[in-house]
Amino acid sequence: MKQPPREQRRHTRFPFDTSVRLSSPRSKWEGALLDVSLKGILMTRPKTWQGKSAERYQVEFSLDQDVTITMQVSVAHSDAERIGFRCEHIDLDSMSHLKRLVELNLGDEQLLNRELSALGGG
């Protein structure tokens, strides 16, 4: 019997229900955020998305009416329904908000510190 692939993720993912704005220099799309981690996001694949794996994109999503997280991302994986993006760059304000979101979801400072330590290792 074939074994399922080993989970290689180092960062805990959290479901988060909000819309995502995805853009490249040539196009803009919208989709739904499925989950988020310190290292990226998973979103629904926009019907008109024809992006390329080698390109860089920007994603934006709001935590509330006053807080928006913006990341420069690249495609980590995609299928007919979803696209996973790897965070390549995030500004300090967005990182602070994302860190707080992770902290609230983990509910444990030691786990948060482990997540943050894993950022340095990949």
For the chain (122 residues), the mean pLDDT of every run of 10, in chain order, is: 45 85 94 93 93 90 92 94 96 91 73 61 48
Q: What is the pTM of this model?
A: 0.80
pLDDT at 4: 40
Residue with tokens 């909000």: 18
pLDDT at 119: 55
pLDDT at 15: 86
3 state DSSP class of 12: coil
Q: How far is C-alpha 48 from the geometric centre of its chain's CA atoms?
A: 20
Of the candidates 41, 38, 48, 47, which has an alpha carbon nearest to the alpha carbon of residue 20? Answer: 41
